Amino acid sequence: MVARFKVDSCFRPCKPNPQARIRLFCFPYAGGGPYTYRNWPDRLPPSVEVLAAQFPGRGSRLFEPPFTDLAQFVEESSRSLLQYSDKPFAFFGHSMGALVSFKVACHLRENNQPLPHHLFLSGRAGPRNLQGKLRISRLSDADFILELSRLGGTPKAVLENTELMTMMLPSVRADFVACESYIHTMESPLPCPISVFTGMEDAEFTQEQLEEWHTETAGSFSLKSFPGDHFYLEMEQQLLFDTIANSLTAVE
């Protein structure tokens, strides 16, 4: 049976591909959306269908209240992706998206649902490092925007557009609240392999913190670095796509 897109789904195919043999669900960084992954279908094999998450408070869901609790992201994602579970699937998540995708996999396991065949986790330390204290999310608007500028990933033209930032700030701040208030609970290792990606110039996390993802899988583990900073993936490096493609091809 071919899965069909539902209006209430938080996942949108970047390019519908009913002939695909495996699906890659992509989760955004704080304040991000599907546009980050819009070109990925053209950079991955035709056997892969890319679906990107669009959460409330951005894009076509701009006027929906944003989530402020990581559990909300997990619940909606888990419910939404099940309509596409008629084929093998994998997860890619960057920064906040890495944490969300990991917790979605744990949630699926807890509820005896199909599990991803591979987790690609990017730009995020292992969850045992993330004992939340509200930090960036409590800054004033002016200081919050300065911090976004320091982190990168948001075009300067957007940061300097007062009207646009007024619209965006509630959802971006809510994302940081969700991440910074997260308290990790110990989970038994997932059966699926985990690949961790990072930018060589990303100073947000240490090598040791990234390697702690190793404890979250009973399968294989790898850690790869690519040229660039925390938002290295926006450079659309072919080596990144080749690495993902090789792992997904092994699943088909």
**pLDDT band at residue 8 using 50, 70 and 90 as cut-offs:** low
Distance of alpha carbon 50 from alpha carbon 54, whole angstroms:
13
Domain ranges of the chain: 11-127+187-251
Percent of the chain clearing pLDDT 70 (strictly above): 93
Q: Which residues are CB-neighbours of 188 under 8 A, at least 6 positions away? A: none
Per-residue confidence (pLDDT) for residue 5, from 0 to 100: 42
Distance of alpha carbon 186 from alpha carbon 119, whole angstroms:
18
The 10 Å CB-count burial string (b at 16+, else e) for 151-189 is bebbeeeeeeeeeebeebeebbbbbbbbbbebeeeebee
Look at residue 196 and tell me whether its pLDDT is greater than 90. yes
**Among 247, 113, 99, residue whose Cα is nearest residue 176:** 99
Active site residues: 95
pTM metric for this prediction? 0.91
Distance of alpha carbon 37 from alpha carbon 31, whole angstroms:
14
**pLDDT band at residue 205 using 50, 70 and 90 as cut-offs:** confident
pLDDT digits (tens, 9 = 90+) for 134-174: 588 888 888 888 888 887 777 777 777 888 888 888 999 99
Helix residue ranges per DSSP H, the chain: 40-43, 70-81, 96-110, 141-151, 156-159, 162-180, 207-211, 238-251
Per-residue confidence (pLDDT) for residue 150, from 0 to 100: 81
Look at residue 182 and tell me whether its pLDDT is greater than 90. no
Per-residue confidence (pLDDT) for residue 9, from 0 to 100: 76
Look at residue 244 and tell me whether its pLDDT is greater than 50. yes
Distance of alpha carbon 199 from alpha carbon 222, whole angstroms:
14
Which one is the CATH code of 11-127+187-251: 3.40.50.300, 3.90.1200.10, 3.40.50.1820, 2.40.30.210?
3.40.50.1820
Q: What is the mean pLDDT of the chain?
A: 88
For the residues 8-12, what does the mean pLDDT come to?
80
For the residues 119-146, what does the mean pLDDT come to?
82
Q: In degrees rounded to 5, what are phi and psi of residue 174?
A: -60, -40
pLDDT digits (tens, 9 = 90+) for 25-84: 999 998 888 888 999 999 999 999 999 999 998 888 888 999 999 999 999 999 999 989
Look at residue 1 and tell me whether its pLDDT is greater than 60. no
β-bridge mates for residue 25, sequence order: 51, 91
β-bridge mates for residue 90, sequence order: 24
